[in-house]
Copies of this chain bind each other. A is one copy, B any other.
Amino acid sequence: MRYYEDIDVGEIHEFGEYHVTKAEIIEFAEQYDPQPFHTDEAAAGDSAFGELVASGWHTAAMCMRLLVDGPLHNRASMGARGVDELRWKRPVRPGDTLSVRSEVIDKRVSESDPERGYVDSLLEGITQDGDVVISWIGLGMIARRNPPEE
């Protein structure tokens, strides 16, 4: 298990493969983002997108799945405080395959809780063609190692 002390600013990971299907785009959107350009191929053709595209929240969620299976799987995560500067740079379409690139850009101990570390990462979701479709700064929390027990 990796704790706060084990994370280095500057460390970079590239990982994962998430295959995006039309059925999943529509299923997510019907539950959480039922705008016509996410749920209806014909209506999407007449929209600003010109085709069916994934909800931006769905794109973020698919990248989150890759993060959990990737660098978070052995990290003593305590959740996240939030997200800064999330940008949807290009629509995600049926048939795309997403991977994620993460880079640790800052770390520091919480001032209010010295058991808790803050780790900030730049995250990018990238298609099979190398296009960045989403980026954000994740504001993570991670447990510190218990110093006396090492």
Contacts and interface: CB of A to CB of B under 8 A. Distances in A.
Interface of A: 28, 31-35, 37, 47-49, 55-58, 60-62, 64-65, 68-69, 72, 77-88, 136, 141, 143
A65 B35 contact: no
Chain A contact residues, majority secondary structure: mixed
Contacts of A28: 61
Contacts of A57: 57, 60-61, 64
B35 A72 contact: yes
A88 B80 contact: yes
Contacts of A78: 47-48
Given A64-B33, A64-B55, A84 B82 contact: no
B87 A85 contact: no
A51 to B, nearest CB: 13
Nearest to A53: B79
Contact of A62 (B32, B35, B85): B32
B35 A77 contact: yes
Contacts of A34: 65, 68-69
